[in-house]
Every structure is written in C-alpha cells, then in structure tokens.
Amino acid sequence: MTDLGRARPSKGTWTSPVFFVREKSGECTIRYRQLNAKTAKDAYPLPHLDDLLGPMAGAPTLDAASGYWQIPLADKTLTRLVSSPSMGLTSSQ
C-alpha cells in the first residue's frame, strides 16, 4: 500500500487489524469495528443508488477500485484510520 501511494507510515494512537481475503483477489481488508462503534451516526440516509449512478450514464468506464482512494481525508482523521500490517503502523493518504 505504501508503494502504491495509498498509505503512509503513522504514529497514530488508534489501530485496526488488517486481514487478507482468501479469494483469488487476495485483497486487503481493515476491520474498523472499534472505530465504527465510537463514530457518530449520520442523521441523513444514503441516497438511492439510481440517483448516484444516473449522472454517470454513458460513461465508458468507472474505476471503482481507484475511486475508493480518491476520497480526501482531513489530517486529524488520519490518526484514527491507522492499520497494523506486518510492516508497521500505516494510515491512509
């Protein structure tokens, strides 16, 4: 993840465990259960999927994998989004 520019070394005080999915993709999953338990719930419901996808009609491609990493995060948030893979503590970029 650090090689791809999606994570950086961190000295945050919160950590969440990292797991790798036992599928062909072998994708990385971070379990944020403890952080989610302390997060204030959003009072507004999520928009309907059709309302979100409508403006993208006619787009030739949609890169959902990279799109996830396009969400900007505030620096104060990064100290809470720390994972603990074998190479040391990292947080999202």
pLDDT tier at 53, thresholds 50, 70, 90: confident
Q: Would you kindly state where each structural domain of the chain is located, as residue ranges?
A: 1-40
pLDDT at residue 32, rounded to an integer: 79
Question: How far is C-alpha 80 from the chain's CA centre?
Answer: 12
pLDDT at residue 6, rounded to an integer: 66
What does the pLDDT look like over 5-37, one tens digit per residue? 667 777 777 777 777 777 677 677 778 788 788
Average pLDDT for residues 44-48, to the nearest whole number? 82
* Residue 82: closest CA among 24, 22, 31, 47: 31
Q: pTM for the complete prediction? A: 0.43
pLDDT at 87 over 60: no
